Amino acid sequence: MSDNTSIDNNSITQLTRRVSLQVLWSCKSFAKQLIARKPMKDIQIEIETKNEMRRTLNWIQLTGIGLGSIIGAGIFVTSGQAAKEYAGPSVIISFFIAGIVALLAALSFSEMAVMMASSGSAYTYTYAALGEYCAWIVACNLTLIYQLAASSIVVNWSSHIVHFIGIVSNLNVSSVFLQAPLIADENSINITVTGDVLNLPAIGITIAIAILLFIGIRQTAIINLLFDIIKILALLIFIFACCKYVNTSNYYPFIPPNKGSFNQFGITGMLKGSTIVFFAYIGFESVATAAQEADKPSRTLPISLIGSLVISMLIYLGVSTVMVGLIPYYLIDEDNPLTDAIKATPYGLWLLIIMDLGAIAGSLVISMLIYLGVSTVMVGLIPYYLIDEDNPLTDAIKATPYGLWLLIIMDLGAIAGVTTVALTILLSQTRVFYAMAHDGLLPPIFAKIHSRTKTPWISILISGTYPILFTISDS
């Protein structure tokens, strides 16, 4: 009996040891897989031998993609908030500081993009440097950013279109077709039925962008470039049409004295303003997601990444300068700063229409140049303390005699800017999905390429679905 008990105990001990070793081996294997890095050489070989996409994009089209993603809602919103609440006329310097920081990041992206010209962008770079687990986290964050941003932007596009229609025709579009049928409170606990149908303009632009992305990357880049031109022209028209109405007294004091709070004006307020306007520069990384469709990527990617950022910075400086110069910074409307600036000019409606078209289009290197010019004129037209945070450029335009037609131009620019941002965000999302599926982190269907258009059509379909669903509920 004791012998049998001894045998049973030995068997249990051996079984326990084998199970423990198996569990230990599984944990070790899992941990090893989490930190497994994809060799850069393997990435380069895959790009050279397994790339199913067409390399058709030149540096001009790639720069357009960067500008399309950068110049958008940021300049039309953050400029007013930063000038009115934190920096005053020194918002011009805030744009410059933020632009330099963004440029340093663009230099890093340029180096990575040349070494690993993959559509995965930051996801692929992380996979090669830190391993699979970190790459998965980065990819999830990118997806969250792209989907939420695209959803918010198409809704914003809808409001720009309605505003534009109201300016040019005095037509009041029924809210039934502009708002979500469901609305949630801040905590998303209580959901109320609004009685409205759907935000049809937001759904329409999402479907249109998805169709364009499916047709082909070359066609997408060309359309994006056209909207970029509209957007940039709108901002340039604002700068040069309004600069002669700048009131230089609005620039004084250039750095308003601190009001006791750490971030409220003064040097610290100017630095706080730079953190606010930095939002206007994000998006240049979209160029890297088109790396596998770039012609001569080792040459075109660095030019496009850095170029789009420099252009954007110059444009932002110009816009903010004019805006603050047209209207005292403390009177700027935070939501529609450029609209208020335009109303301060005699151009009025027409300039607003042009600016709306420009906002629908939007883009990076040219943007930097335009930003510098705009910020300078803005601060010169209006005392910084009168600037409307939400509508800084509108206030600046109101300080000039251009009036209505200048407001129309600005509205057109805004519409163009928002359109290109939505387009490039959804483009980036589809390419990240494609790269993840190639690495086995998503089902292979996400990497399925259409035989005729050579685009990841399943990823495009899935990426366009969430923004449409987002319009059903408004929180």
Q: What would the pLDDT profile of 367-413 be if each residue is shown by its tens digit?
A: 333 344 444 444 444 555 565 555 565 555 555 565 567 667 767 77
Is pLDDT of 363 > 50?
Answer: no
Instruction: Note the pLDDT of residue 156.
Output: 76
Residues 224-241: pLDDT tens digits? 888 888 888 888 888 888
Q: What is the 3-state secondary structure (H, E, C) of the chain?
A: CHHHHHHHHHHHHHHHHHHHHHHHHHHHHHHHHHCCCCCHHHHHHHHHHHCCCCCCECHHHHHHHHHHHHCCHHHHHHHHHHHHHHHHHHHHHHHHHHHHHHHHHHHHHHHHHHHCCCCCCHHHHHHHHCCHHHHHHHHHHHHHHHHHHHHHHHHHHHHHHHHHHHHHHCCCCCHHHCCCCEEECCCCCCEEECCCCCCHHHHHHHHHHHHHHHHCHHHHHHHHHHHHHHHHHHHHHHHHHHHHHCCHHHHCCCCCCCCCCCCCCHHHHHHHHHHHHHHHHCCHHHHHHHHHHECCHHHHHHHHHHHHHHHHHHHHHHHHHHHHHHCCHHHEEECCHHHHHHCCCCCCHHHHHHHHHHHHHCCCHHHHHHHHHHHHHHHHHCCHHHCEEEECHHHHHCCCCCCCHHHHHHHHHHHHHHHHHHHHHHHHHHHHHHHHHHCCCCCHHHHCCCCCCCCCHHHHHHHHHHHHHHCCEEC
Residues 435-454: pLDDT tens digits? 888 888 888 888 888 888 88
Nearest CA to 421 out of 205, 274, 103 is that of 205
Instruction: Note the pLDDT of residue 282.
Output: 82
Residues 6 or more apart whose Cβ sits within 8 Å of residue 20: none
Greater confidence (175 vs 138) lies with 138
Q: Tell the residue number behind the tokens 């939505």, with chain if given.
A: 422
Is pLDDT of 53 > 90?
Answer: no
Identify whether the C-beta of residue 216 lies closer than 8 Å to the C-beta of residue 453.
yes
What pTM was estimated for this model as a whole? 0.75
What dotted CATH number matches 59-474?
A: 1.20.1740.10
Instruction: Note the pLDDT of residue 384.
Output: 54
Instruction: Note the pLDDT of residue 68.
Output: 84
Cα of first residue to Cα of last residue in the chain, in angstroms, is: 73
- Amino acid letter for position 420: T
Greater confidence (355 vs 311) lies with 311
What is the percent of the chain where pLDDT is above 70?
A: 69
Paired strand residues for 352: 409
Using CA atoms, how far apart are residues 218 and 146, in angstroms rounded to an integer?
21
C-alpha pair distances (Å), 31 with each of 22, 131, 132, 137, 318:
14, 11, 10, 15, 52
Q: What are the tokens at 34?
A: 């989490």
Using CA atoms, how far apart are residues 313 and 322, in angstroms rounded to an integer?
14
Using CA atoms, how far apart are residues 388 and 335, in angstroms rounded to an integer?
8
How many C-beta atoms lie closer than 10 Å to residue 104's C-beta? 10
- Amino acid letter for position 429: Q
Is pLDDT of 98 > 90?
Answer: yes
Is pLDDT of 181 > 80?
Answer: no
Is pLDDT of 166 > 80?
Answer: no
What is the percent of the chain where pLDDT is above 90?
A: 8
